[in-house]
């Protein structure tokens, strides 16, 4: 009985994860945790941004986008610029498992 109640929730969660897209941005000039925090704040303001992860060592910002939302490249570049950096490459794809 309990399994019948939980199964739909697990299925919905898995579907949402499959449908979410990920955007990776190579950011020039990203060198410290304070810099990463400033960039994260700007990226979180984008409509559709669900989760943000900044990899300081690699200089890459990863943005998970809510299903059904689209984040425009110009908005991504503007958010990075507003944080004081330059977006070098923007790569669209699905999250790695």
The Cα angle at residue 73 between residues 70 and 77, in degrees rounded to 5: 130
- Better-predicted residue by pLDDT, 23 or 1: 23
- pTM (2 d.p.): 0.74
Q: Kindly state whether residue 73 falls inside one of the protein's structural domains.
A: yes
Instruction: Give per-residue pLDDT as tens, 79-97.
Output: 999 999 999 999 998 644 4
Q: Kindly state whether residue 14 falls inside one of the protein's structural domains.
A: no
Quote the domain boundaries for residue 57: 20-93
Beta-ladder partners of 71: none
Q: Which CATH number fits the domain that encloses residue 49?
A: 3.30.70.100
Q: Kindly state whether residue 9 falls inside one of the protein's structural domains.
A: no
Q: Kindly state whether residue 40 falls inside one of the protein's structural domains.
A: yes
Cα 94 to Cα 89: distance, rounded to the nearest angstrom: 16
Cα 44 to Cα 83: distance, rounded to the nearest angstrom: 12
Instruction: Give per-residue pLDDT as tens, 22-61.
Output: 999 999 999 999 999 999 999 999 999 999 999 999 999 9
Q: Please count the structural domains in the chain.
A: 1
Q: Kindly state whether residue 2 falls inside one of the protein's structural domains.
A: no
Cβ atoms within 10 Å of 7's Cβ, excluding its own: 10
Q: Kindly state whether residue 10 falls inside one of the protein's structural domains.
A: no
């Amino acid at each position: 009985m309990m399994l019948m109640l939980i199964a739909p929730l697990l299925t919905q969660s898995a579907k949402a994860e499959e449908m979410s897209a990920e955007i990776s941005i190579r950011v020039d000039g990203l060198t410290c945790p304070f810099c990463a925090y400033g960039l994260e704040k700007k990226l979180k303001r984008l409509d559709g941004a669900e989760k943000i992860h900044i990899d300081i060592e690699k200089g890459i910002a990863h943005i998970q986008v809510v299903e059904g939302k689209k984040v425009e490249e110009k908005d991504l570049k503007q958010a990075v610029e507003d944080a004081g950096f330059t977006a070098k490459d923007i790569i669209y794809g699905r999250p790695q498992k």
